[in-house]
């Protein structure tokens, strides 16, 4: 297989929540593969930082993916700037958690609407653009290994990420006639701003001991899978969910104890 199949030269990619953490790593990885980038985020300081990293080859938008008009306007601006949209990465999300006995409905709705409704809205308008262009496209939804487990104290997050699996499959079937492939990446345990310092705690060590790779993930570990799913190399791959977790989800016991 020619390595050119993995090239994103001439492609435009939009990454929501791409101003930090896993989203930033994916964005920079797609840029390294040749893509022109548009990135969204809600944190102004992080937006400024990623804008400086991208330079003239990218655009950064302040965007709440729960706001339909804003989503449509952002995608229109991406197309206006770059002439097309080829790849959408639905990464935007937030984190609340807490016991179901105490979880406020407002927190539940914030998590569900950001992860699930936001992904739906972005996919809706990105797909409209891709269908109009008539040359296919790629949608990559960022789920979680929490899509696969029961999640005590994280019922909101677990439900949202499980919904991503159903959304991915439904979109994959509906959009296949338009040559649009839709897949999901399920990250395992990664050290990001949300988990800063956690790897050195007893729980962090427990996670490492259950991970066959013997370590926590680094954001850059997601890049290869993201580039594959964004490129022509994955043209016959759709509707699947790929755990990128060092084997965490297939280990039945603690290791390296």
| pLDDT per residue as tens digits for the range 98-127 | 899 999 999 999 999 999 999 999 999 999
C-alpha dihedral over 93, 95, 99, 103, to 10 degrees? Answer: -70
Element (H or E) spanning 146, and its range? none
Please tell me the predicted confidence (pLDDT) of residue 1: 47
Q: Which of 180, 167, 174, 96 shows the shortest CA–CA distance to 134?
A: 180
Task: State yes or no: pLDDT of 153 exceeds 50.
Answer: yes
Over range 221-244, report the average pLDDT: 98
More confident residue, 3 or 52: 52
- For the chain, the average pLDDT equals 94
What is the pTM (predicted TM-score) of this model? Answer: 0.95
Q: Decide if pLDDT at 257 tops 70.
A: no
User: How high is the pLDDT of residue 256?
Assistant: 62
Q: What is the pLDDT of residue 190?
A: 95
pLDDT, tens only, 23-77: 999 999 999 999 999 999 999 999 999 999 988 767 999 999 999 999 999 999 9
| Residue 255 in this model has a pLDDT that exceeds 70 | yes
CA distance 114 to 9: 30
Q: Which residue numbers are catalytic?
A: 157
Closest to 93 (Cα-Cα) out of 147, 31, 33: 147
- Look at 8-22, 136-150, 189-203 and tell me which has the smallest mean pLDDT: 189-203
Give the percent of the chain with pLDDT over 70: 98
pLDDT per residue as tens digits for the range 159-201: 999 999 999 999 999 999 999 999 999 999 998 877 888 899 9
**pLDDT classification of 89: cutoffs 50, 70, 90:** very high
- CB atoms closer than 10 angstroms to residue 154: 22
Neighbours of 32 (CB within 10 A): 11
Domains of the chain with CATH codes: 3-250 (3.40.50.720)
Helix (H) or strand (E) segment spanning residue 95: none
What's the pLDDT score for residue 192? 83
Region of residue 130 (left: phi > 0; alpha: psi -120 to 50; beta: else)? alpha
Query: What is the pLDDT, as a whole number, of residue 151?
Result: 83
- Strand pairing report for 180-187 and 87-90: unpaired
């Amino acid at each position: 297989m020619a390595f050119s199949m993995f090239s994103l030269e001439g492609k435009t990619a939009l990454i929501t929540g791409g101003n930090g953490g896993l989203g930033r790593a994916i964005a920079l990885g797609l840029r390294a593969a040749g893509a022109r980038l548009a990135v969204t985020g809600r944190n102004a300081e992080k937006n400024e930082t990623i804008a400086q990293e991208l330079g003239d080859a990218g655009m950064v938008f302040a965007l709440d993916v729960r706001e339909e008009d804003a989503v449509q306007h952002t995608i229109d601006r991406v197309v206006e700037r770059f002439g097309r949209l080829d790849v959408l990465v639905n990464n935007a999300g937030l984190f609340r958690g807490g016991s179901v006995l105490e979880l406020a409905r407002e927190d539940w709705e914030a998590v569900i609407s950001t992860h699930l409704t936001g992904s739906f809205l972005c996919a809706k308008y990105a797909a409209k653009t891709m269908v109009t262009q008539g040359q296919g496209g790629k949608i990559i939804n960022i789920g979680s290994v929490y899509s696969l487990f029961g999640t005590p104290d994280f019922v909101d997050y677990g439900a949202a990420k499980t919904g991503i699996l159903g959304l991915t499959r439904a979109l994959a079937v509906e959009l296949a006639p338009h040559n649009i492939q839709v897949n999901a990446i399920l990250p395992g345990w990664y050290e990001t701003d949300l988990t800063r310092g956690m790897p050195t705690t007893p729980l962090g060590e427990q996670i490492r001991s259950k991970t066959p790779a013997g370590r926590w993930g680094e954001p850059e570990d997601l890049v290869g899978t993201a580039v594959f799913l964004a490129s022509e190399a994955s043209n016959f791959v759709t509707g699947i969910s790929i755990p990128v977790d060092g084997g965490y989800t297939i280990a039945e016991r603690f290791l390296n104890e």
